């Protein structure tokens, strides 16, 4: 089942830190889509309080599908592979390992008082 998480009314600015959801609402090793200040974001929980956020839009196709991507790693770097053409992106930097010239926007994340916050 795919859930779409939507930002509450606490923070309506388009830049800065945005509270998205309780960290416990995110399943380990699974992506979720969230609407944050009008932007579609894909969130990935990889540990008890380790969450990554990237643009939900696939840079190669423009389709909003990255939350359905495949989590993995390249060495010690956490990665996400596009569910469409399998381009592999670094979850921290957005760098594409498999196709030169492609990049996905990566966002800062933190967990504060049990809630995931994303920096736009």
* CA-based radius of gyration for the chain: 13
Instruction: Say whether 34 sits in a helix, a strand or coil.
Output: strand
Q: How many domains does the chain have?
A: 1
The DSSP element (H or E) to which 36 belongs, if any, is strand 31-36
pLDDT category at 14 given cuts 50, 70, 90 is: confident
CATH code assigned at 51: 2.102.10.10
Q: Could you tell me if residue 12 is inside a domain?
A: no
Residue range 45-99, pLDDT digits in tens: 999 999 999 999 999 999 999 999 999 999 999 999 999 999 999 999 999 999 9
Mean pLDDT of 21-49: 97
In a domain, 11, yes or no: no
Segment 104-117, tens digit of pLDDT = 999 999 999 999 99
- The reply to whether 4 falls in a domain is no
Q: Tell me whether residue 86 is in a domain.
A: yes
Tell me the residue range of the domain where 58 lies.
Answer: 17-113
81 belongs to a structural domain: yes
Q: What percent of the chain has pLDDT over 70?
A: 89
Say if 55 falls within a structural domain: yes
Does pLDDT of 1 surpass 70? no
Q: Look at residue 78 and tell me if it is in a domain.
A: yes
Q: Smallest Cα–Cα separation from 69: which of 87, 52, 50, 95?
A: 87
Q: Is residue 2 part of a domain?
A: no
Buried b (16+ CB within 10 A) or exposed e, 5-28: bebeeeeeeeeeebbbbebeebee
């Amino acid at each position: 089942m795919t859930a779409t998480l939507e930002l509450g009314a606490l923070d309506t600015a388009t830049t800065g830190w945005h509270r998205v959801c309780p960290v416990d609402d995110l399943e380990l090793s699974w992506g979720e889509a969230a609407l944050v200040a009008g932007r579609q974001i894909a969130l990935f929980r990889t540990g008890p309080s380790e969450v990554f956020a990237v643009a939900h839009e696939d840079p190669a196709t423009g389709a909003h599908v990255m939350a359905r991507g495949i989590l993995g790693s390249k060495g010690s770097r956490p990665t996400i592979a596009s569910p469409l053409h399998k381009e592999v992106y670094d979850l921290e930097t957005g760098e594409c390992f498999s196709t030169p010239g492609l990049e996905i926007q990566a966002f800062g994340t933190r967990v504060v008082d049990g809630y995931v916050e994303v920096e736009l």
